[in-house]
């Protein structure tokens, strides 16, 4: 029930993702005609994290459904960092690989800095996640770059939903390298006045309530309540939290909710960072699921095609 209520419209990420995929089809066909092959995405999946298995499976299914080839390399939970690095270096050197994605998280045994080190090893021109320092720097400088997929998807959602950004107050709750920081840069480049909030922000609700556009990306179920939201504001919920406690589901969604019925059937439900009650105050809200989630993969596909096109033009 984390979707728009009577006074808020739902920002339909699934529909926008479908539009993005449809627009990629002729570009993929044109690439195939020019290169004599499809664009190819190389994926590294290390370990046995169940969520990662699902994410990679979905990425492969959607890539191949669109005509993008995939090359999956798997490593066991016991693999050393050097083995992961060798896969990335092989992808870098392979002219038939246009984009590289390393699925997070990497196994803990690879070390606490393994993800940063592996992202830095990826050829920036193949970095479809947009995490390499070169691409981060290009994003800050507003030069052509492969930008992180989730923030890019949020921008597509706002643009295609007719949300005005220029001159508006935007608040981003969360300062991660993956979402919060690049999200703030993309909004700033569109001439919004941007405030980044985090766990040490004093009077967070009051700061958030100034926003015309509020982006929640903190990973805390239903943290953003009505007192965080300016009436009529656009609220984008980036959070995807699995609830496994029935009492928590009742507390957030109510005893007679469809979410509770779904929980009783499956033993878990998804909840965003935004409380469902926000729909009574906001002008527009992105639902969970069906909001930002589909756009993350759509922008991964878009970055894969863009990387292939750029390499072809060299």
Q: What is the pLDDT of residues 7-39, one digit of tens each?
A: 789 999 999 999 999 999 999 999 999 999 999
CA 309 to CA 98: how far, in whole Å?
A: 9
CA atoms of 151 and 13, how far apart (whole Å): 13
Average pLDDT over residues 147-175: 98
pLDDT of residue 240 exceeding 50: yes
Are 13 and 291 in contact by the 8 Å Cβ rule? The answer is yes
Is residue 257 a contact partner of residue 275, using CB atoms and an 8 Å limit?
A: no
276-292 average pLDDT score: 96
3-state SS string for 226-285: HHHCCCCCEEEECCCEEECCHHHHHHHHCCCCHHHHHHHHHCCEEECCECHHHHHCCCEE
- Across all residues in the chain, what is the average pLDDT? 95
- Domains of the chain, each with CATH number or no CATH: 38-126 (3.40.50.10860), 148-291 (3.40.50.720)
pLDDT of residue 1: 40
Residues marked active site are found at 59, 103, 129
Residue range 86-110: average pLDDT?
97
> What is residue 262's predicted lDDT score, i.e. its pLDDT?
96
Across the range 64-80, mean pLDDT stands at: 97
Residue pLDDT, tens place only, 190-225: 999 999 999 899 999 999 999 999 999 999 999 999
Look at residue 4 and tell me whether its pLDDT is greater than 70.
no
pTM of the complete model:
0.94
The mean pLDDT value for 88-96 works out to 98
Summarised one tens digit per residue, pLDDT across range 246-262 is 999 999 999 999 999 99
pLDDT digits (tens, 9 = 90+) for 37-53: 999 999 999 998 888 99
Q: How many CB atoms lie within 10 A of CB 230?
A: 19
Q: Given a cut of 50, is residue 3 above it in pLDDT?
A: no
pLDDT surpassing 60 at residue 6: no
pLDDT, residue 5, reads 44
pLDDT over threshold 50, residue 242: yes
Q: Is the pLDDT of residue 123 over 50?
A: yes
């Amino acid at each position: 029930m984390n979707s728009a209520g009577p006074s808020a419209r739902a920002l339909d990420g699934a529909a926008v993702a479908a539009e993005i995929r449809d627009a990629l089809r002729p570009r993929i066909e044109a690439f195939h005609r020019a290169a004599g092959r499809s664009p190819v995405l190389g994926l590294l999946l290390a370990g046995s994290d169940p969520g990662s298995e699902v994410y990679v499976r979905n990425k492969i299914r959607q890539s191949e459904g669109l005509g993008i080839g995939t090359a999956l390399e798997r490593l066991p939970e016991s693999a050393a960092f050097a083995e992961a690095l060798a896969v990335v270096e092989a992808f870098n050197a392979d002219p038939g690989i246009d984009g590289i994605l390393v699925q997070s998280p990497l196994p803990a045994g690879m070390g606490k800095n393994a993800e940063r080190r592996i992202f830095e090893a990826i050829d920036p021109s193949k970095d479809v996640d947009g995490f390499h320092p070169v691409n981060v720097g290009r994003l800050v400088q507003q030069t052509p770059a492969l930008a992180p997929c989730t923030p890019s998807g949020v921008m597509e959602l706002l643009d295609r939903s007719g949300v005005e950004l220029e001159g508006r107050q935007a608040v981003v709750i969360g300062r991660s390298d993956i979402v919060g920081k690049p999200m703030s840069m993309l909004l700033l480049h569109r001439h919004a006045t941007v405030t980044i909030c985090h766990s040490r922000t004093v009077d967070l609700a009051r700061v958030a309530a100034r926003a015309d556009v509020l982006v929640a990306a903190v990973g805390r179920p239903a943290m953003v309540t009505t007192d965080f939201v300016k009436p009529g504001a656009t609220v984008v919920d980036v959070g995807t939290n699995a609830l496994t406690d029935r009492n928590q589901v009742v507390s957030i969604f109510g005893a007679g909710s469809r979410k509770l019925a779904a929980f009783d059937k499956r033993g878990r439900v998804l909840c965003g960072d935004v409380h469902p009650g926000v729909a009574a105050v906001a002008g527009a809200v992105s639902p969970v699921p069906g909001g930002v989630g589909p756009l993350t993969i759509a922008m991964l596909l878009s970055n894969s095609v863009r990387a292939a096109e750029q390499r072809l033009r060299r």
